[in-house]
């Protein structure tokens, strides 16, 4: 169930956060922040359709194991893609460096990068 409208919060805000290490992950309706653990392999994160997620914000960040935390550029990378829609003006985004992140926001037509850290 999705809702749009005014939200008022008087206290802490809790949102989901999960770590993924599978080579492909389809983002779920309940996901908010997704940590892609690329310690062992490349990961492709597939965004849900923008047209079904108007106003939704998703945060995606690359992480590595504690043993690899000082690597600047990992041998494994992450890709963010869709099933045919655009992300800004491209079909996919590649994250190459440890701790790089993207914040994505749907306008109901495509996903927009609203914040980027690293490459």
Whether residue 2 lies inside any domain: the answer is no
Residue 93 lies in a domain: yes
Q: Per residue in 24-33, pLDDT tens?
A: 999 999 999 9
Q: Does any domain span residue 64? A: yes
Tell me the CATH number at 65: 2.60.120
Inter-residue contact 19 to 37 (CB < 8 Å): yes
| 68, part of any domain | yes
> Do 27 and 46 meet the contact criterion of CB atoms below 8 Å apart?
yes
pLDDT tens sequence across 12-64: 988 999 999 999 999 999 999 999 999 889 999 999 999 999 999 999 999 98
Query: Does 6 fall in a domain?
Result: no
**Separation between Cα atoms, residue 26 and residue 82, nearest integer Å:** 9
Residues pairing with 20 in the sheet = 36
What is the Cα–Cα distance from 90 to 113, expressed in whole angstroms?
Answer: 11
Is 9 domain-assigned? no
Q: Is residue 8 part of a domain?
A: no
The reported pTM is: 0.86
Domain that holds residue 29: 17-117
Decide if 4 is inside a domain. Answer: no
What is the per-residue pLDDT for 3?
61
Sheet holding 111-117, edge to edge: 17-20, 33-37, 57-63, 101-106, 111-117
Number of structural domains, the chain? 1
């Amino acid at each position: 169930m999705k809702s749009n409208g005014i939200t008022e919060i008087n206290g802490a805000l809790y949102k989901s956060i999960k770590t993924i290490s599978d080579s492909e992950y389809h983002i779920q309706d309940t996901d908010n922040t997704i940590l892609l653990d690329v310690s062992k392999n490349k990961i492709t994160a597939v965004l849900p359709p923008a047209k079904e997620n108007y106003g939704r914000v998703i945060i995606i960040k690359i992480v590595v194991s504690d043993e690899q935390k000082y690597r600047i550029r990992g041998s494994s990378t992450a890709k963010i893609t869709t099933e045919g829609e655009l992300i800004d003006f491209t079909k996919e985004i590649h994250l190459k460096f440890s701790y790089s992140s993207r914040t994505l926001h749907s306008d109901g037509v495509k996903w927009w990068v609203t914040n980027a850290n690293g490459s």
